[in-house]
Chain A
Amino acid sequence: MTTRRTSWDMLVLAAFVVLALFAPLAIYPLFLMKVLCFALFACAFNLLIGYVGLLSFGHAMFFGFAAYVSGHLAKVGTVSLPVGLPFVGWHWITIPLPPLSPELAILGGTAVAALLGLIAGFVAIRRQGIYFAMVTLALAQMVYFFCVQAPFTGGEDGIQAIPRRPLLGLLPITDGFVFYYVVLAIFVIGFLIIYRTIHSPFGQVLKAIRENEARAISLGYAVDRFKLIAFVLSAALAGLAGATKAIVFQLASLTDVTWQMSGEVVLMTLVGGMGTVFGPIVGAGVIVAMQNYLAGFGEWVLVIQGAIFIVTVLLFRRGIVGEIIALANRFKGKREGRAEPAGQAHSRPAE
């Protein structure tokens, strides 16, 4: 059963990659790169809500902060770290760095996001359910205020004109087509990391925690450690998405750290299907396309996003991919002459 599902998933992934390889012939590469960045972001978010049952309402802090770090490393390089305490006075340690190449900048952003995830996760996993959502939201708001005040982020202006130097000193990513395939590769790597995690013994424990945390504890699993590792992984991959997006758009701004951005990734995952492997990709495509299409309508975007939230929660909680899976299961059940419970635990986040 598992192997059959895995090979089925791999088939869908292969079809997706083939489609993605030819997509830039028909669609503007910059738009496709945006979709891929958000798809990776949503997949990272889905790892927590779909497989650990933790609703993070602050994932923009990893996405946006990694974008700042990667933008800063690619444009300026030099890093100044404060040492010391408030009131006592700050001391600054300066690490002189040249502006880094894009791959190092992206890796740097990802690493910082992982570190931030370790700190935020350590605090947040002390509560479950809606409290977890509120705590992550509050922590993200703290990171937002930090980004407003910190000198290196450029305040309201953000970091603009981030250079696209040749990748690995070879690939000219100033060319949208070339960079698109790089971003596609980054996405596929990120996706496979998540896929492997979900289908590993580690992933099985995560699902056990989602279904029944108390029982997982009684079976002797160090539940908090599992949650923390999953949180850090999710944060790092969200950071990878944000760091890549900064190089793609040559811009890191406050928009990416706001609570609205955290809400958007929730919406993408919800629309696509929480707890489904491909749902977040579909959701990201739908929402980014909608934003592009409605860009001229100003505030209506917010209203429509809100309406989609309401409709999805009330009418099709399984999301697009979740509904398709449920439909396919019902069809299969009918053909094989037995009723199968549609959807199962697949589309339901645990408490």
Chain B
Amino acid sequence: MFELLGVPPQALFGQLLLGLINGAFYALLSLGLAVIFGLMNVINFTHGAQYMMGAFVAWMLLTYLGIPYWGALVLVPIIVGITGVIIERLFISRLYHLDHLYGLLLTFGLALMIEGLFRREYGSSGLPYANPLPGGTNLGFMFLPWYRAWVVAISLIVCFGTWFMIEKTQLGSYLRAATERPDLVQAFGINVPRMITLTYGFGVGLAALAGVLAAPIYSVNPTMGANLIIVVFAVVVIGGMGSIMGSILTGFGLGVIEGLTKVFYPEASNTVIFIIMAIVLMIRPQGLFGTPR
């Protein structure tokens, strides 16, 4: 068997695929964060917990109601999105007139509460979720499991769908306008508070969708969101939250870089994204796709 750069190709492509999958989650989550931040100026610390809720609700639907994965894929983002709407109405909406840091602190508290409740109820050892697409195909240079291919494909579709909706449709133009000047948009007769609420619900729904996608790959675990969200924060800092496309590209790109690091220098695979963040901050503080303030 031939080798590439001193590494067997199975290992290289296997890690590349894993990197793409991680990248898909980074992209979906940072996209949601960017959409929420764009309109509300709130960094949604609860995002990781909502991703975890997505996985858990999918597991509950299967275990308690017998609703299979494909049903969960549609239902879970809606259910968790609605909890997001409730959270926005009950709590976050009271903080818009204050310093943005309070939004961060509030959503952090919410994340702690949600994680604690799930840990209390389900322990922290993790619950299995059956793979809905078992098997795969041999591509010659590597084995491609169907489910992983599906995850990359669906997240690409959702990411670009979101980009299209925000950048190319009329609804998206309202959204972008409200990001710039909410007062003017309101004066034109558009219900901005409702739009903010729905946007938050949408961002939360994206996180929940990522959670459903993750359920068959990783075990369903109350702590799965907390550690991921910190990496996603670093991704967001690297990309800058100014552009939707930027979030998507940075998410996938960093996932791939992380995968490659696992092949060539495994000791640094946990930290490589943080190191890249530090370097980007030194060279381009506003982030790769951010606009300087």
Of B104, B115, B267, B285, the residue contacting A302 (CB under 8 A) is B115
Min CB gap B35→A, angstroms: 16
* Contact assessment for A302 and B119 in the assembled complex, using a CB-CB cutoff below 8 Å: yes
Report the Cα distance A350→B100, complex, angstroms.
9
Chain B residues with CB under 8 Å of A146's CB are 271
Of B43, B111, B230, B274, the residue contacting A306 (CB under 8 A) is B111
Report the Cα distance A31→B114, complex, angstroms.
29
Task: Give the nearest-CB partner of B273 in chain A.
Answer: A138
Task: Give the nearest-CB partner of B269 in chain A.
Answer: A145
CB of A351 within 8 Å of the partner chain: yes
Of A308, A310, A351, the residue contacting B110 (CB under 8 A) is A310
Knowing A303-B117, A310-B109, the reply to whether A133 touches B43 (Cβ < 8 A) is yes
CB of A321 within 8 Å of the partner chain: no
* Contact assessment for A313 and B109 in the assembled complex, using a CB-CB cutoff below 8 Å: yes
CB of A298 within 8 Å of the partner chain: yes
- Chain A contact residues (Cβ within 8 angstroms of B): what range? 35 or more
Min CB gap B41→A, angstroms: 8
Report the Cα distance A133→B269, complex, angstroms.
23
Report the Cα distance A149→B270, complex, angstroms.
10
Knowing A87-B265, A131-B237, A349-B101, the reply to whether A137 touches B230 (Cβ < 8 A) is yes
* Contact assessment for A129 and B116 in the assembled complex, using a CB-CB cutoff below 8 Å: no
The interface bits of chain B over 259-293 (1 if a CB of A lies within 8 angstroms of the residue's CB, else 0) are 00000010110110111011001100100000000
Main secondary structure of the interface of B (DSSP, over half): helix
* Contact assessment for A298 and B99 in the assembled complex, using a CB-CB cutoff below 8 Å: no
* Contact assessment for A130 and B43 in the assembled complex, using a CB-CB cutoff below 8 Å: yes
Chain A residues with CB under 8 Å of B265's CB are 86-87
Of A123, A129, A306, the residue contacting B278 (CB under 8 A) is A123
CB of B157 within 8 Å of the partner chain: no
Report the Cα distance A127→B277, complex, angstroms.
12
Report the Cα distance A145→B119, complex, angstroms.
23
Chain A residues with CB under 8 Å of B114's CB are 306
CB of A305 within 8 Å of the partner chain: yes
Task: Give the nearest-CB partner of A350 in chain B.
Answer: B99
CB of B236 within 8 Å of the partner chain: yes
CB of A134 within 8 Å of the partner chain: yes
* Contact assessment for A133 and B112 in the assembled complex, using a CB-CB cutoff below 8 Å: no
Min CB gap A213→B, angstroms: 11
* Contact assessment for B99 and A138 in the assembled complex, using a CB-CB cutoff below 8 Å: no
> Which A285-313 residues have a C-beta within 8 angstroms of B?
298-310, 313
> Which B50-66 residues have a C-beta within 8 angstroms of A?
none
Chain B residues with CB under 8 Å of A129's CB are 100-101
Min CB gap B114→A, angstroms: 8
CB of B106 within 8 Å of the partner chain: yes
Knowing A86-B268, A127-B285, A259-B226, the reply to whether A309 touches B116 (Cβ < 8 A) is no
> Which residue, B116, B119, B120, B234, has most C-beta atoms of chain A within 10 A?
B116
Report the Cα distance A259→B108, complex, angstroms.
11
Of B110, B234, B278, the residue contacting A134 (CB under 8 A) is B234
Report the Cα distance A61→B234, complex, angstroms.
16
Knowing A313-B102, A313-B106, the reply to whether A145 touches B115 (Cβ < 8 A) is no
* Contact assessment for B105 and A266 in the assembled complex, using a CB-CB cutoff below 8 Å: yes
Report the Cα distance A6→B179, complex, angstroms.
45
Residues of A within 8 A of B (CB): 55, 57, 86-87, 123-124, 126-127, 129-131, 133-135, 137-139, 141-142, 145-146, 148-149, 259, 263, 266, 270, 298-310, 313-314, 317, 348-351
In the assembled complex, 27 residue pairs joining A and B whose CB atoms fall closer than 8 Å, in A order, are A126-B281, A129-B100, A134-B43, A134-B233, A134-B234, A135-B277, A137-B233, A138-B234, A138-B273, A139-B274, A141-B234, A148-B270, A263-B112, A300-B116, A300-B120, A301-B116, A303-B113, A306-B110, A306-B112, A306-B113, A309-B105, A310-B91, A310-B110, A310-B113, A313-B102, A314-B94, A351-B101
Residues of B within 8 A of A (CB): 43, 91, 94-95, 98-102, 104-106, 108-117, 119-120, 226, 230-231, 233-234, 236-237, 265, 267-268, 270-271, 273-275, 277-278, 281-282, 285
Known: A135-B281, A314-B94. 19 other contacts (CB 8 A): A55-B101, A127-B285, A130-B43, A133-B43, A138-B234, A139-B274, A141-B234, A145-B270, A266-B105, A299-B116, A299-B117, A302-B119, A303-B116, A307-B113, A308-B109, A310-B91, A310-B113, A314-B95, A314-B106
